Structure 1
Amino acid sequence: MVYTIQLSVSGDFDRVVETTIDALKDEGFGVLCDIDVQATLKEKLGEEFRQYRILGACNPTLAHEGLSEEVELGALLPCNVIVYETDDGEVMVSAVDPQQLVGIANNEALDEVANEVHDRFERVLASVADAFEPTSEA
């Protein structure tokens, strides 16, 4: 099952992260949390890991609409967007596909919100692609 929408680009990792955050803001999303997985695994386990960031993105208006329809939706929020180094040195930007995510709630009232978030995430990836050389899209 495919549960993300993604794009691989050539570019400096930190610049890709910054561009992704800016593109999220342009689409009305705030980044509620920014988890540096590489630093966390090094600090907590002493383990080396690729550059990997988890951005917890939330659009307050859309979150309110979704939560108004399904109060338990909060267990699936915020929507995560990840940016990580691939084995071949590219940078992958991957967003959870909200259409798949809300499908587990089995509530058709969430479809419109999920479609809107999906479209916004597609535009976020398009903005990143405009700023860097895409190597693949999935």
Structure 2
Amino acid sequence: MDYAHTITVSLPYEEAVSRVREELANQGFGVLTEINVHATFETKLGVESAQALGDYLILGACNPALAEQALTAEPDMGLLLPCNVVIRRSPSATSTTVQAINPQTMVQLSNSPGIQNVANQANERLLAALAALQGENSSN
């Protein structure tokens, strides 16, 4: 099992970030956290490290109803929440990569029967968001 769902889109980086946010919202996800890895590298490691990495953003996406179900079934699932979504583009790239965690990873780490249903629903919604992005702007 792959732990990530990955697509590439021909959108410029900033537009891809905006569209990812829209499609996550369309699937009932809000963004709880945002980590600008490029900016962190620049601050902590220097401009050269940031430039070598390129644009790289990690969004922590949460669907509150699904999170509630997961935490009710197994409180330790909070260690795996929110669902990370990465938008990245290397300096020489002509497309932007978008990745979402595969929620089935939770099932591999839990014996709780309630987690399977949550993982299935979250996976369906994340795949729908990625499909909407790819359907409009596919380069891969």
Q: What is the TM-score when the length of structure 2 is the normalising length?
A: 0.90
Residues in 2 aligned to 1:88 and 1:22: alpha-carbon distance in whole angstroms: 23
CA distance in structure 2 between the partners assigned to 1:76 and 1:95 by the alignment: 13
TM-score, normalized by length of structure 1? Answer: 0.92
Contact kept in structure 2, 1:3 and 1:101, CA below 8 Å: no
The residue number in structure 2 matching 1:36 is 36
Contact 1:54 1:80 in 2 (8 A): yes
C-alpha separation in 2, matches of 1:14 and 1:101: 30
Superposed counterparts of 1:71-110, under 5 Å: 71-86=75-90, 88-110=93-115
Q: In the TM superposition, what whole-angstrom CA distance separates every residue of 1:45-81 from its partner, at most 9, and x where no partner exists? A: 1122210000000000000001000000001101100
Aligned length: 135
Moved over 4 A (4+): none
Instruction: Give how far 1:11 is off.
Output: 1.3
Task: Kindly indicate which of the two structures has a greater share of residues assigned to helix.
Answer: 2
- Unmatched runs of 5 consecutive residues or more in structure 2: none
Cα distance in 2 for partners of 1:101, 1:111 equals: 8
- Whether 1:126 aligns to 2:128 is no
Structural RMSD (CA):
1.3
| Distance across 2 between alignment mates of 1:52 and 1:107 | 34
Name the % identity.
Answer: 36
